[in-house]
Protein backbone atom coordinates (compact mmCIF):
# COMPACT_ATOMS: atom_id res chain seq x y z
CA UNK A 1 0.00 0.00 0.00
CA UNK A 2 2.75 2.36 1.09
CA UNK A 3 4.45 2.01 -2.30
CA UNK A 4 1.57 3.57 -4.19
CA UNK A 5 1.38 6.51 -1.78
CA UNK A 6 3.35 9.57 -2.84
CA UNK A 7 6.08 10.68 -0.47
CA UNK A 8 6.45 14.23 0.86
CA UNK A 9 9.55 15.78 2.39
CA UNK A 10 8.91 18.92 4.41
CA UNK A 11 11.68 21.20 5.63
CA UNK A 12 10.84 23.90 8.11
CA UNK A 13 12.66 27.15 8.87
CA UNK A 14 11.84 29.91 11.35
CA UNK A 15 9.67 30.47 14.37
CA UNK A 16 7.16 28.40 16.35
CA UNK A 17 4.34 29.65 14.12
CA UNK A 18 6.14 28.08 11.19
CA UNK A 19 6.70 24.83 13.10
CA UNK A 20 2.97 24.70 13.68
CA UNK A 21 2.23 25.56 10.04
CA UNK A 22 4.52 22.75 8.90
CA UNK A 23 2.58 20.32 11.13
CA UNK A 24 -0.64 21.58 9.59
CA UNK A 25 0.78 21.11 6.08
CA UNK A 26 1.93 17.62 6.95
CA UNK A 27 -1.49 16.69 8.40
CA UNK A 28 -3.29 18.11 5.34
CA UNK A 29 -1.08 16.15 2.96
CA UNK A 30 -1.51 12.95 4.99
CA UNK A 31 -5.24 13.32 4.44
CA UNK A 32 -4.51 13.62 0.73
CA UNK A 33 -2.69 10.29 0.78
CA UNK A 34 0.92 11.44 1.10
CA UNK A 35 3.33 9.80 3.51
CA UNK A 36 6.31 11.54 5.02
CA UNK A 37 9.76 10.56 3.79
CA UNK A 38 13.07 11.42 5.40
CA UNK A 39 15.13 12.42 2.36
CA UNK A 40 14.29 14.76 -0.54
CA UNK A 41 15.48 12.12 -3.01
CA UNK A 42 12.66 9.78 -1.88
CA UNK A 43 9.97 12.43 -2.30
CA UNK A 44 7.46 13.13 -5.03
CA UNK A 45 6.71 16.43 -3.32
CA UNK A 46 9.15 18.74 -1.53
CA UNK A 47 7.80 21.55 0.66
CA UNK A 48 10.16 24.23 1.96
CA UNK A 49 8.35 26.20 4.67
CA UNK A 50 10.44 29.34 4.80
CA UNK A 51 11.39 32.26 7.07
CA UNK A 52 12.28 35.79 5.94
CA UNK A 53 13.19 37.37 9.29
CA UNK A 54 16.89 37.89 8.57
CA UNK A 55 18.84 37.80 5.31
CA UNK A 56 20.51 34.53 6.33
CA UNK A 57 17.11 32.83 6.73
CA UNK A 58 16.08 33.87 3.23
CA UNK A 59 19.41 32.83 1.72
CA UNK A 60 19.02 29.35 3.24
CA UNK A 61 16.03 28.83 0.97
CA UNK A 62 18.06 29.65 -2.12
CA UNK A 63 20.97 27.45 -1.16
CA UNK A 64 18.53 24.58 -0.54
CA UNK A 65 16.84 25.22 -3.87
CA UNK A 66 20.28 25.15 -5.52
CA UNK A 67 20.98 21.72 -4.04
CA UNK A 68 17.52 20.36 -4.90
CA UNK A 69 17.77 21.43 -8.53
CA UNK A 70 19.64 18.25 -9.45
CA UNK A 71 16.58 16.16 -8.52
CA UNK A 72 14.59 18.02 -11.16
CA UNK A 73 16.74 16.56 -13.94
CA UNK A 74 16.46 13.01 -12.59
CA UNK A 75 14.11 10.33 -13.92
CA UNK A 76 11.25 11.10 -11.48
CA UNK A 77 11.46 14.81 -10.76
CA UNK A 78 9.63 15.83 -7.57
CA UNK A 79 7.41 18.88 -7.35
CA UNK A 80 9.01 21.65 -5.31
CA UNK A 81 6.76 24.04 -3.37
CA UNK A 82 7.98 27.06 -1.43
CA UNK A 83 5.60 28.03 1.39
CA UNK A 84 5.86 30.46 4.30
CA UNK A 85 7.19 33.96 4.75
CA UNK A 86 9.72 34.11 1.88
CA UNK A 87 6.95 33.00 -0.49
CA UNK A 88 4.80 35.88 0.72
CA UNK A 89 7.58 38.46 0.70
CA UNK A 90 9.24 37.64 -2.63
CA UNK A 91 6.39 35.99 -4.56
CA UNK A 92 7.24 35.67 -8.26
CA UNK A 93 10.80 36.91 -7.65
CA UNK A 94 11.59 33.40 -6.40
CA UNK A 95 11.22 32.16 -9.99
CA UNK A 96 13.84 34.64 -11.18
CA UNK A 97 16.41 32.89 -9.03
CA UNK A 98 14.92 29.40 -9.10
CA UNK A 99 12.67 28.79 -12.12
CA UNK A 100 12.46 25.06 -11.23
CA UNK A 101 10.09 25.83 -8.33
CA UNK A 102 6.56 24.48 -9.01
CA UNK A 103 4.57 26.42 -6.43
CA UNK A 104 4.85 29.53 -4.28
CA UNK A 105 2.29 29.61 -1.47
CA UNK A 106 2.01 32.25 1.26
CA UNK A 107 1.77 31.36 4.95
CA UNK A 108 -1.92 32.13 5.11
CA UNK A 109 -2.84 30.07 2.07
CA UNK A 110 -1.23 26.78 3.04
CA UNK A 111 -4.65 25.13 3.53
CA UNK A 112 -5.07 25.55 -0.23
CA UNK A 113 -2.12 23.24 -0.95
CA UNK A 114 -4.21 20.14 -1.82
CA UNK A 115 -6.21 22.13 -4.41
CA UNK A 116 -3.08 23.75 -5.77
CA UNK A 117 -1.33 20.39 -6.11
CA UNK A 118 -4.27 19.07 -8.10
CA UNK A 119 -4.27 22.13 -10.38
CA UNK A 120 -3.66 21.10 -13.95
CA UNK A 121 -1.41 24.00 -14.84
CA UNK A 122 1.71 24.61 -12.87
CA UNK A 123 3.70 26.54 -11.70
CA UNK A 124 1.23 28.07 -9.27
CA UNK A 125 1.35 31.21 -7.18
CA UNK A 126 -1.03 31.70 -4.25
CA UNK A 127 -0.50 34.55 -1.82
CA UNK A 128 -4.08 34.90 -0.58
CA UNK A 129 -4.55 35.91 3.03
CA UNK A 130 -7.54 33.78 3.98
CA UNK A 131 -7.00 33.47 7.68
CA UNK A 132 -10.04 32.00 9.35
CA UNK A 133 -10.14 29.19 6.74
CA UNK A 134 -6.58 28.19 7.49
CA UNK A 135 -7.60 27.12 11.00
CA UNK A 136 -10.89 25.50 10.06
CA UNK A 137 -10.01 21.99 11.15
CA UNK A 138 -8.04 20.97 14.22
CA UNK A 139 -4.84 19.21 13.26
CA UNK A 140 -4.39 15.55 14.04
CA UNK A 141 -0.96 14.61 15.21
CA UNK A 142 0.86 11.81 13.41
CA UNK A 143 2.58 10.75 16.62
CA UNK A 144 0.45 8.91 19.17
CA UNK A 145 3.02 9.55 21.90
CA UNK A 146 3.25 13.30 21.58
CA UNK A 147 3.30 14.92 25.04
CA UNK A 148 3.73 18.57 24.10
CA UNK A 149 2.08 20.53 21.32
CA UNK A 150 2.02 24.00 19.82
CA UNK A 151 -1.28 25.72 19.19
CA UNK A 152 -1.35 28.92 17.15
CA UNK A 153 -3.97 31.31 18.56
CA UNK A 154 -2.88 34.52 16.88
CA UNK A 155 -1.04 35.35 13.71
CA UNK A 156 0.24 38.53 12.11
CA UNK A 157 1.24 41.75 13.82
CA UNK A 158 0.06 45.36 14.02
CA UNK A 159 3.16 46.74 15.70
CA UNK A 160 5.37 47.71 12.82
CA UNK A 161 8.77 47.60 14.50
CA UNK A 162 10.99 49.40 11.99
CA UNK A 163 13.35 46.45 11.42
CA UNK A 164 10.77 43.70 11.01
CA UNK A 165 9.22 41.92 8.02
CA UNK A 166 6.52 40.05 9.95
CA UNK A 167 3.76 42.66 9.46
CA UNK A 168 4.28 42.39 5.71
CA UNK A 169 4.66 38.60 5.51
CA UNK A 170 1.91 37.65 7.96
CA UNK A 171 -0.32 40.70 7.65
CA UNK A 172 -2.43 42.31 10.33
CA UNK A 173 -3.02 40.65 13.65
CA UNK A 174 -5.71 37.98 13.51
CA UNK A 175 -6.98 36.09 16.57
CA UNK A 176 -8.65 32.72 16.17
CA UNK A 177 -12.14 32.54 17.67
CA UNK A 178 -12.18 31.09 21.20
CA UNK A 179 -14.27 28.08 20.13
CA UNK A 180 -11.76 27.11 17.47
CA UNK A 181 -8.83 27.37 19.93
CA UNK A 182 -10.65 25.31 22.56
CA UNK A 183 -11.71 22.67 20.05
CA UNK A 184 -8.14 22.18 18.92
CA UNK A 185 -6.88 22.13 22.52
CA UNK A 186 -9.46 19.45 23.43
CA UNK A 187 -8.46 17.37 20.40
CA UNK A 188 -4.80 17.57 21.41
CA UNK A 189 -5.56 16.59 25.01
CA UNK A 190 -7.67 13.64 23.85
CA UNK A 191 -4.71 12.49 21.77
CA UNK A 192 -2.58 12.39 24.92
CA UNK A 193 -0.90 15.80 24.81
CA UNK A 194 -0.21 17.09 28.34
CA UNK A 195 1.46 20.42 27.68
CA UNK A 196 0.15 23.05 25.29
CA UNK A 197 2.10 26.11 24.18
CA UNK A 198 -0.10 28.87 22.83
CA UNK A 199 1.74 30.49 19.95
CA UNK A 200 1.53 33.80 18.11
CA UNK A 201 3.75 36.61 16.84
CA UNK A 202 2.27 38.59 19.67
CA UNK A 203 0.15 36.20 21.78
CA UNK A 204 -0.88 38.69 24.40
CA UNK A 205 -2.45 40.91 21.74
CA UNK A 206 -5.01 38.08 21.43
CA UNK A 207 -8.59 39.32 21.40
CA UNK A 208 -11.45 37.32 19.91
CA UNK A 209 -15.10 36.48 20.42
CA UNK A 210 -16.10 33.69 22.76
CA UNK A 211 -19.18 31.50 22.32
CA UNK A 212 -21.44 34.16 23.83
CA UNK A 213 -20.15 36.83 21.49
CA UNK A 214 -18.22 38.61 24.25
CA UNK A 215 -14.60 39.61 23.71
CA UNK A 216 -11.99 37.40 25.32
CA UNK A 217 -8.46 38.68 25.90
CA UNK A 218 -5.29 36.63 26.26
CA UNK A 219 -5.41 36.33 30.05
CA UNK A 220 -9.03 35.11 29.90
CA UNK A 221 -8.10 32.58 27.21
CA UNK A 222 -5.41 31.18 29.51
CA UNK A 223 -8.06 30.57 32.19
CA UNK A 224 -10.26 28.74 29.66
CA UNK A 225 -7.47 26.51 28.32
CA UNK A 226 -6.16 25.78 31.84
CA UNK A 227 -9.63 24.52 32.81
CA UNK A 228 -9.69 21.81 30.11
CA UNK A 229 -9.53 18.25 31.45
CA UNK A 230 -6.18 16.53 31.04
CA UNK A 231 -3.97 19.59 30.78
CA UNK A 232 -0.88 19.51 32.98
CA UNK A 233 1.09 22.44 31.66
CA UNK A 234 0.39 25.59 29.76
CA UNK A 235 2.96 27.91 28.14
CA UNK A 236 2.87 30.73 25.62
CA UNK A 237 5.18 32.50 23.20
CA UNK A 238 5.91 35.24 22.09
CA UNK A 239 4.58 37.94 24.34
CA UNK A 240 5.08 41.66 23.97
CA UNK A 241 6.03 43.94 26.88
CA UNK A 242 3.25 46.39 26.00
CA UNK A 243 0.39 43.94 26.60
CA UNK A 244 0.96 42.75 30.17
CA UNK A 245 -2.64 43.09 31.32
CA UNK A 246 -4.22 42.52 34.73
CA UNK A 247 -5.91 39.31 33.54
CA UNK A 248 -2.54 37.99 32.37
CA UNK A 249 -1.01 38.82 35.75
CA UNK A 250 -3.97 37.15 37.51
CA UNK A 251 -3.48 34.06 35.35
CA UNK A 252 0.17 33.84 36.48
CA UNK A 253 -0.81 34.40 40.10
CA UNK A 254 -3.58 31.79 40.20
CA UNK A 255 -3.05 29.07 37.59
CA UNK A 256 -0.60 26.41 38.79
CA UNK A 257 -0.50 24.84 35.30
CA UNK A 258 0.72 28.11 33.76
CA UNK A 259 4.47 27.60 33.76
CA UNK A 260 6.80 30.21 35.28
CA UNK A 261 8.87 30.85 32.14
CA UNK A 262 8.10 33.95 30.11
CA UNK A 263 9.74 34.96 26.85
CA UNK A 264 9.50 38.75 26.76
CA UNK A 265 11.76 40.16 24.04
CA UNK A 266 13.24 43.57 24.85
CA UNK A 267 15.51 43.97 21.75
CA UNK A 268 17.63 46.77 23.26
CA UNK A 269 18.37 48.39 26.61
CA UNK A 270 18.70 51.89 25.16
CA UNK A 271 15.65 54.17 25.06
CA UNK A 272 16.94 55.98 21.97
CA UNK A 273 17.25 52.69 20.07
CA UNK A 274 13.90 51.41 21.35
CA UNK A 275 12.35 54.63 20.00
CA UNK A 276 14.07 54.20 16.64
CA UNK A 277 12.89 50.58 16.53
CA UNK A 278 9.35 51.80 17.30
CA UNK A 279 9.14 49.52 20.33
CA UNK A 280 6.39 51.19 22.37
CA UNK A 281 8.12 51.07 25.79
CA UNK A 282 11.16 52.41 27.56
CA UNK A 283 13.76 50.48 29.49
CA UNK A 284 11.99 51.53 32.71
CA UNK A 285 8.58 50.38 31.48
CA UNK A 286 10.06 47.04 30.43
CA UNK A 287 11.62 46.55 33.85
CA UNK A 288 8.28 47.44 35.43
CA UNK A 289 6.54 44.80 33.31
CA UNK A 290 9.02 42.20 34.62
CA UNK A 291 8.42 43.39 38.19
CA UNK A 292 4.66 43.04 37.81
CA UNK A 293 5.07 39.51 36.52
CA UNK A 294 7.47 38.65 39.35
CA UNK A 295 5.01 40.08 41.86
CA UNK A 296 2.29 37.83 40.41
CA UNK A 297 4.52 34.76 40.58
CA UNK A 298 7.90 35.09 42.22
CA UNK A 299 9.61 32.16 40.49
CA UNK A 300 9.09 33.38 36.92
CA UNK A 301 12.26 33.11 34.84
CA UNK A 302 12.62 35.40 31.86
CA UNK A 303 14.02 34.94 28.40
CA UNK A 304 14.42 37.53 25.67
CA UNK A 305 15.49 38.44 22.15
CA UNK A 306 18.08 41.11 21.37
CA UNK A 307 19.18 42.89 18.22
CA UNK A 308 22.66 44.41 18.19
CA UNK A 309 23.90 46.94 15.66
CA UNK A 310 20.55 48.53 14.87
CA UNK A 311 21.20 51.66 12.72
CA UNK A 312 22.53 54.46 14.90
CA UNK A 313 23.40 52.18 17.84
CA UNK A 314 26.36 53.81 19.61
CA UNK A 315 28.76 52.15 22.02
CA UNK A 316 26.79 53.78 24.89
CA UNK A 317 23.52 52.35 23.54
CA UNK A 318 25.10 48.93 23.41
CA UNK A 319 26.49 49.31 26.94
CA UNK A 320 22.93 50.13 28.07
CA UNK A 321 21.83 46.77 26.64
CA UNK A 322 24.59 44.96 28.55
CA UNK A 323 23.61 46.83 31.72
CA UNK A 324 19.97 45.81 31.28
CA UNK A 325 21.01 42.18 30.87
CA UNK A 326 23.07 42.45 34.07
CA UNK A 327 20.10 43.94 35.86
CA UNK A 328 17.52 41.38 34.74
CA UNK A 329 19.62 38.23 34.74
CA UNK A 330 18.00 36.10 32.05
CA UNK A 331 17.48 32.37 32.17
CA UNK A 332 17.93 32.20 28.42
CA UNK A 333 18.03 34.53 25.41
CA UNK A 334 18.58 34.86 21.68
CA UNK A 335 20.70 37.64 20.22
CA UNK A 336 20.99 38.62 16.56
CA UNK A 337 23.00 41.02 14.47
CA UNK A 338 20.67 43.56 12.89
CA UNK A 339 19.88 42.42 9.36
CA UNK A 340 18.74 44.93 6.75
CA UNK A 341 15.35 43.85 5.44
CA UNK A 342 14.27 45.38 2.14
CA UNK A 343 11.07 47.38 2.43
CA UNK A 344 11.32 48.00 6.18
CA UNK A 345 11.75 51.58 7.46
CA UNK A 346 15.08 50.86 9.20
CA UNK A 347 16.64 49.61 5.96
CA UNK A 348 16.96 53.16 4.67
CA UNK A 349 18.32 54.71 7.88
CA UNK A 350 21.64 56.40 7.17
CA UNK A 351 23.75 55.29 10.14
CA UNK A 352 24.12 51.56 9.42
CA UNK A 353 26.56 49.93 11.85
CA UNK A 354 29.57 48.25 10.17
CA UNK A 355 29.52 44.46 10.28
CA UNK A 356 32.74 44.01 12.33
CA UNK A 357 31.21 46.22 15.06
CA UNK A 358 27.99 44.20 15.02
CA UNK A 359 30.02 41.00 15.24
CA UNK A 360 31.98 42.26 18.23
CA UNK A 361 28.87 43.42 20.07
CA UNK A 362 27.09 40.16 19.35
CA UNK A 363 30.01 38.18 20.74
CA UNK A 364 30.14 40.15 24.00
CA UNK A 365 26.38 40.03 24.49
CA UNK A 366 26.29 36.29 23.78
CA UNK A 367 29.13 35.71 26.26
CA UNK A 368 27.23 37.54 29.00
CA UNK A 369 23.99 35.72 28.23
CA UNK A 370 25.79 32.36 28.24
CA UNK A 371 27.24 33.10 31.69
CA UNK A 372 23.76 33.91 32.98
CA UNK A 373 22.29 30.80 31.42
CA UNK A 374 24.96 28.60 33.00
CA UNK A 375 24.35 30.27 36.37
CA UNK A 376 20.63 29.60 36.00
CA UNK A 377 21.30 25.91 35.35
CA UNK A 378 23.68 25.74 38.34
CA UNK A 379 21.09 27.28 40.69
CA UNK A 380 18.95 24.20 40.09
CA UNK A 381 21.54 21.62 41.14
CA UNK A 382 20.48 19.77 44.29
CA UNK A 383 16.86 20.92 43.92
CA UNK A 384 13.86 18.64 43.53
CA UNK A 385 11.64 19.85 40.69
CA UNK A 386 8.66 18.63 38.70
CA UNK A 387 9.62 17.18 35.33
CA UNK A 388 7.13 16.36 32.58
CA UNK A 389 8.64 13.49 30.61
CA UNK A 390 8.34 13.83 26.86
CA UNK A 391 10.39 11.16 25.11
CA UNK A 392 13.16 8.59 25.19
CA UNK A 393 16.66 9.96 25.71
CA UNK A 394 19.62 9.43 23.43
CA UNK A 395 21.04 6.52 25.42
CA UNK A 396 19.40 3.24 26.38
CA UNK A 397 17.22 3.49 29.51
CA UNK A 398 17.12 7.28 29.44
CA UNK A 399 14.04 9.46 29.26
CA UNK A 400 13.96 13.23 28.90
CA UNK A 401 11.60 15.97 29.93
CA UNK A 402 11.48 19.58 31.02
CA UNK A 403 11.32 21.46 34.30
CA UNK A 404 8.64 24.14 34.82
CA UNK A 405 11.33 26.63 33.70
CA UNK A 406 11.74 24.67 30.47
CA UNK A 407 15.18 23.29 31.30
CA UNK A 408 15.79 19.93 29.63
CA UNK A 409 16.40 17.05 32.07
CA UNK A 410 17.68 13.52 31.43
CA UNK A 411 17.07 10.65 33.88
CA UNK A 412 17.29 6.87 33.93
CA UNK A 413 13.68 5.77 33.97
CA UNK A 414 10.95 3.67 32.43
CA UNK A 415 9.30 4.83 29.20
CA UNK A 416 5.99 4.27 31.05
CA UNK A 417 6.68 7.63 32.70
CA UNK A 418 6.49 9.47 29.37
CA UNK A 419 3.50 11.80 29.58
CA UNK A 420 3.60 12.07 33.35
CA UNK A 421 5.14 14.48 35.85
CA UNK A 422 7.66 13.24 38.40
CA UNK A 423 9.64 14.86 41.18
CA UNK A 424 13.25 14.77 40.07
CA UNK A 425 16.37 15.57 42.07
CA UNK A 426 18.75 17.45 39.80
CA UNK A 427 22.21 16.06 40.30
CA UNK A 428 24.47 17.25 37.52
CA UNK A 429 24.70 20.02 34.96
CA UNK A 430 25.61 19.00 31.42
CA UNK A 431 26.44 21.67 28.83
CA UNK A 432 22.86 22.57 27.96
CA UNK A 433 20.77 20.18 30.04
CA UNK A 434 20.56 18.70 33.51
CA UNK A 435 20.85 15.18 34.79
CA UNK A 436 18.63 13.95 37.59
CA UNK A 437 17.19 11.05 39.56
CA UNK A 438 13.52 10.33 40.01
CA UNK A 439 12.61 11.21 43.59
CA UNK A 440 8.93 10.36 43.37
CA UNK A 441 6.53 9.66 40.51
CA UNK A 442 2.98 10.86 40.53
CA UNK A 443 1.27 9.19 37.58
**Main-chain dihedrals φ then ψ at residue 406, nearest 5 degrees:** 75, 15
Q: What share of the chain is helix, strand, coil (3-state, %, to 5)?
A: 40, 25, 35
For residue 415, count other CB atoms closer than 10 A to its CB: 14
Minimal distance, residue 111 CB to ligand SAH, in Å: 23
Q: Which is nearer to ligand SAH, 53 or 225 (CB)?
A: 53
Q: Which is nearer to ligand F3S, 58 or 403 (CB)?
A: 58
| 274 contacts: CB under 8 Å, gap ≥ 6 | 267, 268, 281, 282, 283
Distance, in Å, from the CA atom of 66 to the CA atom of 103, rounded to the nearest integer, reads 16
Contact pattern from residue 220 through residue 259 relative to ligand SF4, giving x for each residue in contact according to CB under 6 A and a dash for the rest: --------------------x-------------------
Residue 253, H or E segment: helix 246-254
Contact pattern from residue 189 through residue 208 relative to ligand SF4, giving x for each residue in contact according to CB under 6 A and a dash for the rest: ------------xx------
Q: Which is nearer to ligand F3S, 51 or 90 (CB)?
A: 51
Minimal distance, residue 285 CB to ligand SF4, in Å: 15
Distance, in Å, from the CA atom of 22 to the CA atom of 13, rounded to the nearest integer, reads 9
Q: Which is nearer to ligand F3S, 305 or 398 (CB)?
A: 305
The one among 45, 113, 157, 422 contacting ligand SF4 by CB under 6 A:
157
Q: Which is nearer to ligand SAH, 286 or 338 (CB)?
A: 338
Which residues of this chain interact with ligand SAH, rule CB under 6 A? 53-54, 163-164, 166, 201-202, 238, 240, 265, 267, 305, 307, 336, 338-339, 341
Q: At what angle do helices 283-296 and 246-254 cross, to 10 degrees?
A: 40
Q: Which is nearer to ligand F3S, 104 or 422 (CB)?
A: 104
Tell which residue, 6, 105, 92, 98, has the closest CA to residue 49: 105
Tell which residue, 392, 383, 394, 379, has the closest CA to residue 418: 392
With CB under 6 A as the rule, give the number of residues binding ligand SF4: 10
Euclidean distance between the first and the last CA atom of the chain, given in angstroms as a whole number: 39
Contact pattern from residue 164 through residue 183 relative to ligand SF4, giving x for each residue in contact according to CB under 6 A and a dash for the rest: x-xx----------------
Distance, in Å, from the CA atom of 442 to the CA atom of 438, rounded to the nearest integer, reads 11
9 binds, among ligand SF4, ligand F3S, ligand SAH, none (CB under 5 to 8 A by kind): none
Q: Which is nearer to ligand F3S, 14 or 219 (CB)?
A: 14
The CB-nearest residue to ligand F3S is 14
Listed in order, strand segments (DSSP E) in 259-407 are 261-263, 301-308, 332-337, 384-392, 398-402
Minimal distance, residue 286 CB to ligand SF4, in Å: 14
Q: Residues in the site for ligand SF4, rule: CB under 6 A?
A: 157, 159-161, 164, 166-167, 201-202, 240
Amino acid sequence: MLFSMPGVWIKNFGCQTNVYDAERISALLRKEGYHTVTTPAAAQLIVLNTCHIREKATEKLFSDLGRLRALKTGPLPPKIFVTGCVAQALGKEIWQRAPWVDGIVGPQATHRLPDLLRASSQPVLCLEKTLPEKFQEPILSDSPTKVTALLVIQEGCDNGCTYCVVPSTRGRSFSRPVASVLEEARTLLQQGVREITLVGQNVNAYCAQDETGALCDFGSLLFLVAALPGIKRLRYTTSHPQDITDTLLRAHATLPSLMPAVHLPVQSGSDAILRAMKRPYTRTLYLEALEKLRAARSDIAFSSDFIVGFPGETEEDFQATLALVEEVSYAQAYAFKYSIRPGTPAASLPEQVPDPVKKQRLASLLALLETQQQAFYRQHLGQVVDVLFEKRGRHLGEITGRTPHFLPVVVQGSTDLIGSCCSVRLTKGLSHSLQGEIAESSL
